């Protein structure tokens, strides 16, 4: 049975979280001031555990992050009756202060960063019986500060870089995204040094050295630092951290049956043992809302769904036995699912049209016929299949296309697909042809896993009108996409108005 890391929420008087001064009650009789806290090892442990609590907030991985990363990409879209919500997945940004589309993710990102900064500023002054325990706590805080800045850089790019515990009166300076990437690299490299190679079983869910190297590789790749990315990935594939392997059952990556398995590099631990909201109260949920919002009509809210071109992409190539790629069965719901796979595990009364599809990963149809706000299915933020495909991409960028094939083949072999050379001999050693095929391989393996938006940015597919026009052929929302503008979100206007050191992106 999975163990959710014990979360202790700590209130220390003043804190920086964008646009939330109204949430502060500095006269509360239950608050603990900073001077009273940060005295013992248990204070330090509670402080780092409070960082993990941010996974369960609306603005981050409980709900809205998936709208930003999955639905805004060409893999997904929204026809939600909540028009403003749907507009924020199709690049119609009118109200820059739209809470669910922008402000809450910005707020919770900086709230998470604040909690990291608290730990990093105060824990060094605490005496520990075992100095390694202190180092591990600080390393976790650096990892999570880097992780939160990573996604902030992906979404907004030029943002404030806050590295100390803040107060509501602070007016942090805006930094170019290159400085954000540099700080992410620094934090991850330092975290790697002090994180363990493995955690004890009762600490499952904490980042280890492999998780730090994986995020480093992602960071380097977004900057096209291919040599650095290669070294980071090799730690996981052939170096001291080569402990990972693909699980035999592809679907085991998307249910609660075989979590934290050999393929998991880092996953968010979700649970359904508490049925509260997403605030700071003791009964706050530690669940994922994704399945509820992405489920087909009559099963959940269906505010987000998958583009039907994904179904067709899976059907372009058969496996070694002449059958459909089994990944299609576990990636998407679509009208012919029963006819294609004889799949009777999903409901008979679901409402859909012939050209509609929904994301299936993370759904709970293996034991129930509806969704709710309390999904316990862990979210695999990085898994080994992603690492292998990234390594293939890096090798191709470094001119080693022939060597890159084998890492794609490992992923394809797991689901009984022919080798890449057999299935696509036209590629040869051509860099561009290999990259184009790799783009599709990443879709087939990773669709709906919150990597597509960063992939499109890394590949430069959002940088020219010609490439955006190609995307629009499979995702009409991209007809609204303005090159040089919509590759990043507008900064919440309320923060721009309140901070003279923060400028709105000029294109907005």
Distance of alpha carbon 453 from alpha carbon 426, whole angstroms: 28
pLDDT at 344: 75
Cα dihedral value 84, 87, 89, 95, nearest 10: -70
Q: Which residue has the tokens 């109260």?
A: 281
In a domain, 322, yes or no: no
pLDDT at 18: 41
Of 459, 474, 490, which residue sits at a domain end?
459
Of 427, 443, 459, which residue sits at a domain end?
459
pLDDT at 2: 64
pLDDT at 17: 40
Distance of alpha carbon 119 from alpha carbon 44, whole angstroms: 7
- Tell me, yes or no, whether 151 and 246 share the same domain: no
Q: Each residue's pLDDT tens digit in the chain (508 positions)?
A: 465 665 555 544 333 444 433 333 334 445 677 778 999 999 999 999 999 999 999 999 999 999 999 999 999 999 999 999 999 999 999 999 999 999 999 999 999 999 999 999 999 999 999 999 999 999 999 999 999 999 999 999 999 999 999 998 999 999 999 999 999 999 999 999 999 999 999 999 999 999 999 999 999 999 999 999 999 999 999 999 999 999 999 999 999 999 999 999 999 999 999 999 999 998 999 999 999 999 999 899 999 999 999 999 999 999 999 999 999 999 999 999 999 998 876 655 677 788 999 999 999 999 998 999 999 999 999 999 999 999 999 999 999 999 999 999 999 999 999 999 999 999 999 999 999 999 999 999 999 999 999 999 999 999 999 999 999 999 999 999 999 999 999 999 999 999 999 999 999 9
- Tell me, yes or no, whether 7 and 71 share the same domain: yes
- Tell me, yes or no, whether 4 and 128 share the same domain: yes
Report the predicted TM-score, pTM, of the whole model to 2 decimal places: 0.95
Full domain range(s) for residue 62: 1-195+460-503
Distance of CA 308 to the CA centre of its chain: 22
In a domain, 326, yes or no: no
- Tell me, yes or no, whether 123 and 222 share the same domain: no
Report residue 84 as tokens.
Answer: 């403003």
- Tell me, yes or no, whether 31 and 152 share the same domain: yes
In a domain, 273, yes or no: no
In a domain, 376, yes or no: no
pLDDT at 35: 75
* Residue 446: strand, helix, or coil: helix
- Tell me, yes or no, whether 187 and 208 share the same domain: no
- Tell me, yes or no, whether 87 and 11 share the same domain: yes
In a domain, 470, yes or no: yes
* Residue 332: strand, helix, or coil: strand
User: How many domains does the structure of the chain reveal?
Assistant: 2
Q: Which residues of 231-260 are buried (b: 16+ CB within 10 A; e: fewer)?
A: bbbbbbbeeebeebebbeebbbbbbbeebb
- Tell me, yes or no, whether 241 and 151 share the same domain: no
Q: What is the CATH number of the domain that holds 477?
A: 1.25.40.390
In a domain, 339, yes or no: no
In a domain, 63, yes or no: yes
End-to-end alpha-carbon separation of the chain, Å?
Answer: 48
- Tell me, yes or no, whether 107 and 228 share the same domain: no
Judge whether 320 and 348 are in contact, CB under 8 Å: no
- Tell me, yes or no, whether 86 and 103 share the same domain: yes
Distance of alpha carbon 308 from alpha carbon 326, whole angstroms: 17
Q: Which helix (H) or strand (E) holds 174?
A: strand 174-175
pLDDT at 19: 42
In a domain, 377, yes or no: no
> What's 347's DSSP letter?
-
Please name which of 57, 237, 45 lies closest in space to residue 148, comparing C-alpha atoms: 57
Report residue 128 as tokens.
Answer: 């520990």
- Cα torsion 208, 210, 214, 216: sign: positive
- Tell me, yes or no, whether 113 and 245 share the same domain: no
Distance of CA 88 to the CA centre of its chain: 18
- Tell me, yes or no, whether 109 and 241 share the same domain: no
């Amino acid at each position: 049975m999975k163990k959710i890391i014990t979360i202790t929420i700590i209130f220390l008087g003043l804190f920086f979280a964008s646009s939330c001064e109204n949430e502060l009650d500095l006269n509360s009789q239950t608050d603990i001031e900073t001077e009273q806290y940060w005295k013992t090892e248990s204070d330090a442990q509670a402080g780092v555990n409070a960082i993990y609590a941010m996974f369960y907030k609306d603005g981050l991985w409980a709900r809205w992050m998936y709208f930003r990363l999955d639905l805004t990409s060409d893999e997904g879209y929204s026809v939600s009756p909540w028009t403003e919500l749907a507009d924020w997945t199709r690049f119609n940004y009118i109200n820059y202060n739209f809470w669910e589309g922008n402000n809450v993710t910005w707020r919770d990102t900086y709230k998470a960063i604040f909690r990291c900064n608290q730990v990093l500023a105060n824990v060094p002054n605490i005496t520990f019986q075992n100095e390694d325990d202190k180092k591990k706590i600080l390393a976790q805080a650096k990892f999570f500060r880097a992780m939160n800045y990573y996604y902030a850089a992906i979404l907004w790019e030029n943002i404030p870089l806050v590295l100390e515990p803040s107060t509501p009166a602070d007016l942090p300076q805006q930094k170019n995204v290159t400085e954000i990437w540099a700080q992410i690299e620094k934090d991850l490299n330092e975290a790697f040094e002090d994180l363990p190679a493995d955690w004890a079983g009762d600490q499952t869910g904490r980042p280890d050295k492999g998780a730090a190297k994986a995020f480093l590789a992602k960071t380097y790749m977004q900057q096209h630092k291919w040599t650095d990315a290669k070294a980071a990935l090799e730690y996981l594939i052939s170096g001291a951290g080569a402990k990972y392997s693909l699980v035999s059952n592809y679907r085991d990556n998307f249910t609660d049956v075989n979590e934290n398995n050999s393929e998991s590099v880092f996953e968010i631990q979700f649970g359904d043992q508490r049925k509260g909201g997403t605030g700071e109260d003791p009964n706050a949920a530690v669940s994922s809302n994704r399945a509820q919002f992405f489920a087909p009509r009559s099963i959940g809210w269906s505010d987000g769904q998958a583009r039907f071109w994904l179904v067709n992409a899976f059907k372009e190539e058969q496996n070694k036995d002449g059958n459909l790629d089994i990944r299609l069965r576990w990636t998407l719901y679509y009208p012919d699912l029963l006819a294609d796979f004889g799949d009777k595990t999903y409901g008979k009364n679901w409402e859909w049209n012939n050209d509609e599809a929904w994301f299936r990963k993370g759904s709970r149809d293996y034991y129930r016929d509806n969704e709710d706000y309390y999904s316990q299915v862990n979210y695999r933020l990085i898994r080994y299949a992603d690492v292998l495909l990234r390594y293939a991409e890096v090798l191709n960028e470094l001119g080693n296309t022939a060597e890159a094939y084998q890492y794609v083949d490992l992923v394809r072999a797991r689901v009984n697909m022919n080798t890449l050379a057999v299935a696509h001999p036209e590629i040869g050693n051509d860099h561009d042809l290999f990259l184009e095929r790799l783009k599709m391989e990443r879709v087939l393996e990773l669709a709906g896993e919150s990597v597509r938006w960063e992939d499109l940015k890394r590949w430069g597919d959002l940088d020219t009108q010609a490439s955006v026009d190609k995307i629009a052929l499979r995702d009409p929302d991209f007809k609204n996409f303005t090159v040089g503008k919509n590759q990043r979100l507008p900064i919440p206007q309320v923060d721009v108005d309140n901070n003279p050191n923060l400028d709105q992106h000029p294109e907005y």
